[in-house]
Structure 1
Amino acid sequence: MALPLELTLLIILFVCIFVKHARSDAADHRYEPGDPVPLYANKVGPFHNPSETYRYFDLPFCIPDHIKEKKEALGEVLNGDRLVSGPYALDFLVDKDNELLCRKHLSKEEVVQFRKAVDKDYYFQMYYDDDLPIWGLIGRVDREGRDNPEDFRYYLCKHVYFDAKFNKDRVIEITARMDPHMVVDLTEDKEVDAEFTYSIKWQETDILFENRMDRFAHSSALPRHLEIHWFSIINSGVTVLLLTAFLATILMRVLKNDFMKYAHDEESLDDQEETGWKYIHGDVFRFPKHKSVFSAALGCGTQLFTLMVFIFILALVGVFYPYNRGALFTALLVIYALTSGVAGYNSTSFYCQFEGTNWVKNLLLAGFLFCGPLFLTFCFLNSVAIIYNSTAALPFGTIIIIMLIWTLVTSPLLVLGGIAGKNSNTQFHAPCRTSKYPREIPQLPWYQSTIPQMLMAGFLPFSAIYIELYYIFASVWGHRIYTIYSILLIVFIILLIVTAFITVALTYFQLAAEDHEWWWRSFLCGGSTGIFIYGYCLYYYYGRSDMSGFMQTSFFFGYMACICYGFFLMLGMVGFRAALIFVRHIYRSIKCE
């Protein structure tokens, strides 16, 4: 289905504006020696729980006299960023050695609070010169030679070394490291006095300002990582080639024999009973059960596929460069809102082709089929984040903005798309006439039932992408940076091809067994890869990560359920459309009474 022209132009305009904004965000970062450079403290949290983040000054650090909150974009808030003015004065080209930050008396409660943070490997994150990230652990645990956790020693770092690099009048790089010898012992529950200090040393570099983020991008493109990525593509490519060869040498040969057989039967004067997939030509285009839900699922799947296409476009033109805070969340939210017309158009178009009458109900179903579960999941997880007082909890104002986007953009475009789909007057093209009464489906072996077919259909596409999945998970649910979007696009295309091929093959076997209810089966088989991805979530959480705690567990499995559900709808749509093209082709090639 083609997109309405107005919607296409609107999306293209958004992409152009988004790219321009992303490219011009860091335009004038020039300083004279001694000028103050903006430093913002962002958040703290357990290193292994990326969703469990808190405001920087929720821990009793040295608080500056005047704390100024930075105005944040929508995507930054969705990302859990809460930037405030940092405690350190890191002026441009001004070296400092053991500069006193503050003298602080830690009470017993503050000592316990810091010790719990050190025990959970809390890290801090700051931003220097707007978008240069600074990471560091707030302390360390001495476990050497101690088997009993009660004998561990807990130390809070009280001195930070900053190493900064510059090129002419611009900041290029900054890193932070903690002095392991300048620490405060937090092992015992007693009050402690400490002096917190910091140092900064400037060095000149020949790296250009335009390339200062490249070191983060290159971290995911190291030779040993690239070898694994290319191995993943080769593995996926071999899967595609084998599947293509299977279809070409077996499926097409079988089809050729079927065509010759049916052509011979038509020329024969003897009456012969039809068998195989030709036998059900009067039922194969009988519209599916629950056609409103089916049409809505196709509409949502098409919208999510369109969303993925535009996300890849933005990624390939460089919008999602490392630490472009909130860019991905902003893009997902805005593009999803702008493409809601795609869901409305495709849903009502299919529904009307299926001779449905209550298109308004179908349109509402298309609007809530994906957003409904996502909204319920968000309500639960946001409540958990509020209880934990985490920055992952969205402020009330941000929730109002999202509701306004839904009300003023998503809903009107959904309705406009639905009206356009209803008025398209597209007739469903069926090469064969549908009989009045459906034929009875014969008893089939267990391996040709829905669940075994879904398992077979989902395994091959999943096997083509599972290697790349680890890097995606490590980026989304960890601290790795993923920037090789070209490789990700190749893997995504392979995923679509394998999904389409395996769904077509299983659809043929189903029709050859004289089972004409292929509509929902093709959708379920195509989308079953999403179930395998969620199964991988269990393996990743318990086998490959160190995440723990109720909040992190809830966020991981809650939001991954929504993501996998989205993949289910998108790949189900791909599988159905491929099967529909195939079924129309084979029944168009024979003569049916």
Structure 2
Amino acid sequence: MRSFSKLLTVLVFASIRLALCGRAYMEGDRVKLYANKVGPFSNPSETYQYYDLPFCRPPDGLEHKLETLGEARTRLISRCATIVVDGNRLIVTPYDLSFRRAQEHAVLCTKNFDKKEVQQFRKAIREDYYFQMYYDDLPIWGFIGKLEKEVVSNSPGDSHLKHYLFTHVHFDIAYNGQRIVEINVSTDPAQVVDLSEGVVSDDSAVPAEFTYSVKWHESDIPYEKRMDKYRRYSFLPQHLEIHWFSIINSCVTVVLLTGFLATILMRVLKNDFIKYTRDDEVLEDMEESGWKNIHSEVFRFPPNKNLFCALVGSGYQLVALSIFIFGLACVGVFYPYNRGGLYTALIVLYALTAGIAGYTAGSYYKQMEGAAWVRNILLTSVVFCGPLFLMFCVNNTVAIVYRSTAALPFGTIVIITLIWALITIPLTILGGIIGKNTRTEFKAPCRTNKYPREIPELPWYRNAIPQMVMAGFLPFSAIYIELYYIFASVWGHKVYTIYSILFIVFLILLVVTAFITVALTYFQLALEDHRWWWRSFMCGGSTGLFIYGYCFYYYLARSDMGGWMQTSFFFGYMACVCLAFFIMLGTIGWRASLLFVRHIYRAIKCE
């Protein structure tokens, strides 16, 4: 055991040293160029293996890269156990990019395309396919061809499309000492093959010579800052100003909202406290009304308390997960174009925080005098994972039908299932047992009647749906500016690296949700409607519904996405994300309302 700990320590320090210092090369050392994927530029989820198109293949066959924990895959125990969570399939290409060895006009290969291969390239050019490669862990991109309109000379009103395939690629690589610090790739629009209809005969082969050139130059960029380029160009300076405008807008919203609510509630509650604490004979003859009149009903436990406690437990877990992810992001763990690291962290941290969900759900379920605690623990384990798993099955099946790299390999699915079965469920059960056996009481300041009283008839705008609309609009208005940049990063090719701003917006979202839910809870109790438990949860979580509504606007008006696979991935996984926001913000709203309700009923004398 001690030798294993020493070995693990050595491996960890070696990995950190490699990440910080990088690999040193001698002149002439071969540095492999890995092809990752190709796909339509407007559909970032629809990706395919690079050699699904008939490019020049290595003469010795395809060689896949075995990646490390910090990359898109996580190497576990054996060579067969890998986690591929972001569609990366790195394959060695035949390009010779040896360290500091320039190439003027090297021939990669000469090919003769048949009819089927020409049709493949035509389709790819029409859909604006791009390719992504990695060189010494630095990402590079380029387009495989271009589409142009050509006007027919004898018929100015007529035109047809010209399909041009790029056949020459130029690599510009910078080095600092013995380490690579930058790489850029460009295609030569003058060196193309015309694959247009009418130019290429369906019966004859189309010859094409693929070439490349390499230029090296020395740079003073430190190795540890070579990723700053991607952070710097992720958003333009004016976009950064928009971020700060979003922060200021959100802060002003919070200040105005909290000030308004604090002023109104303090004044109204002060008058209520004065009225309800008077002990004169006149007050005794008056009929009580308002929120004091339902003091014997307000702490009646909600219906479906099993599901309610499971949702609250999952909400606590998601809040903890978000805080941990933001903490890792703010210290620089997630660098640009390494989404595999973020997805892996989400999977691992969700599994490790399962005990929080189990403990919270079990504790509240016991406080609410629940008896079916086994069912409560099982429901807590699947209340969020269940819909996510079903959506994953649908989308993964679609990706398999499309033969896309977005489909997770069988080994990855097995590993994620084992993590859920061997870590998530046991921790949830352990947390639930601890929460069940903890001696806690609900501590209601008022006794509850045996039979519930009748709720007076309320106007339509006091019902659940109008209240949810009011509760979700203000928090959504505080974050909607930032949503575009988040969507452009997750469902586009932008890079979001300003995690500190995002964390501030997240905190603002929680504060606004808590305040608006408390205000609506007070107005509900003032009308003698004591069904605040589920109402506060639904009002707090309604922001998730607004975010999902924004998905339709972004998909139709702000993006060029299309096709069944991209549509399925976008709306399917965004539904799961919005469900997570609904559960998390609903928990925040309910918890804030619970603290408020306890405070006001503890401050008055209830018989």
> Residue type of the partner of 2:67?
E
| Structure 1 stretches lacking a partner, 5+ long | 1-13
Q: Which residue of 2 aligns with 1:105?
A: 112
Q: Which residue of 2 aligns with 1:7?
A: none
Give yes or no for contact 1:157–1:183 (8 Å, CA) kept in 2. yes
RMSD of aligned C-alpha atoms?
A: 1.8
1:141 aligns with 2:155: no
Q: 1: distance between equivalents of 2:528 and 2:157?
A: 67
Q: Which residue of 1 aligns with 2:47?
A: 53
Q: Which residue of 2 aligns with 1:557?
A: 571
CA offsets, 1:189-231, max 9 Å, x none?
Answer: 5331011000011111110001000011112354211110001
Q: 2: distance between equivalents of 1:415 and 1:459?
A: 37
Report the alpha carbon displacement of residue 412 of structure 1 after superposing the two structures with TM: 0.8
> Residue type of the partner of 1:172?
V
The equivalences for 1:20-35 within 5 A come to 24-25=18-19, 27-35=21-29
Out of 90, 99, 112, the residue aligned to residue 92 of structure 1 is 99
Give yes or no for contact 2:235–2:495 (8 Å, CA) kept in 1. no
Report the alpha carbon displacement of residue 251 of structure 1 after superposing the two structures with TM: 1.6
> Structure 1 stretches (4+) deviating beyond 6 angstroms?
17-20, 146-150
Q: 2: distance between equivalents of 1:311 and 1:484?
A: 14
> Residue type of the partner of 1:322?
P
Q: Which residue of 1 aligns with 2:64?
A: 69
Q: Which residue of 1 aligns with 2:447?
A: 433
Report the alpha carbon displacement of residue 143 of structure 1 after superposing the two structures with TM: 2.5
Secondary structure, in 3 states, of the residue corresponding to 1:528? helix
Q: 1: distance between equivalents of 2:543 and 2:172?
A: 46
CA offsets, 1:308-335, max 9 Å, x none?
Answer: 0000010011001112351101100000
Report the alpha carbon displacement of residue 23 of structure 1 after superposing the two structures with TM: 7.2
Give yes or no for contact 1:19–1:319 (8 Å, CA) kept in 2. no
Give yes or no for contact 1:19–1:314 (8 Å, CA) kept in 2. no
* Corresponding residue pairs, total: 577
Q: 1:450 to 1:488 in 2, by over 3 A?
A: same
Secondary structure, in 3 states, of the residue corresponding to 2:183? strand
Secondary structure, in 3 states, of the residue corresponding to 2:34? strand
Q: Which residue of 2 aligns with 1:174?
A: 183
Report the alpha carbon displacement of residue 268 of structure 1 after superposing the two structures with TM: 4.9
Q: TM-score with structure 2 length normalisation?
A: 0.93
Q: Which residue of 2 aligns with 1:572?
A: 586
Give yes or no for contact 1:221–1:484 (8 Å, CA) kept in 2. no
CA offsets, 1:449-473, max 9 Å, x none?
Answer: 0000000000000000000000000
Q: 2: distance between equivalents of 1:149 and 1:156?
A: 23
The equivalences for 1:206-355 within 5 A come to 206-220=220-234, 222-265=236-279, 268=282, 270-355=284-369
Out of 32, 40, 43, the residue aligned to residue 38 of structure 1 is 32
Out of 137, 150, 157, the residue aligned to residue 166 of structure 2 is 157
Q: TM-score with structure 1 length normalisation?
A: 0.95
Q: 2: distance between equivalents of 1:300 and 1:80?
A: 28
Q: 1:552 to 1:148 in 2, by over 3 A?
A: farther
Moved more, 221-230 or 271-280: 221-230
Q: Which residue of 1 aligns with 2:375?
A: 361
Moved more, 255-264 or 453-462: 255-264
CA offsets, 1:357-414, max 9 Å, x none?
Answer: 0100011110110000000000010000000000011111111111111111111111
Give yes or no for contact 2:20–2:224 (8 Å, CA) kept in 1. no
Secondary structure, in 3 states, of the residue corresponding to 2:233? helix
Q: 1:267 to 1:155 in 2, by over 3 A?
A: farther
Out of 367, 392, 398, the residue aligned to residue 378 of structure 1 is 392
Q: Which residue of 1 aligns with 2:125?
A: 118
Give yes or no for contact 2:235–2:494 (8 Å, CA) kept in 1. no
Q: 1:400 to 1:530 in 2, by over 3 A?
A: same
Report the alpha carbon displacement of residue 24 of structure 1 after superposing the two structures with TM: 4.6
Report the alpha carbon displacement of residue 336 of structure 1 after superposing the two structures with TM: 0.2
Give yes or no for contact 1:297–1:569 (8 Å, CA) kept in 2. yes
Report the alpha carbon displacement of residue 18 of structure 1 after superposing the two structures with TM: 9.3
Q: 1:565 to 1:420 in 2, by over 3 A?
A: same
Report the alpha carbon displacement of residue 87 of structure 1 after superposing the two structures with TM: 2.5
Q: 1:309 to 1:148 in 2, by over 3 A?
A: farther
Out of 494, 497, 500, the residue aligned to residue 486 of structure 1 is 500
| Structure 2 stretches lacking a partner, 5+ long | 1-7, 74-83
Q: 1: distance between equivalents of 2:45 and 2:151?
A: 32
Q: 1: distance between equivalents of 2:157 and 2:310?
A: 57
Report the alpha carbon displacement of residue 150 of structure 1 after superposing the two structures with TM: 6.8
Q: 2: distance between equivalents of 1:360 and 1:501?
A: 34
Q: 2: distance between equivalents of 1:126 and 1:429?
A: 60
State the identity as a percent.
65
Give yes or no for contact 1:125–1:134 (8 Å, CA) kept in 2. yes
Q: Which residue of 2 aligns with 1:511?
A: 525
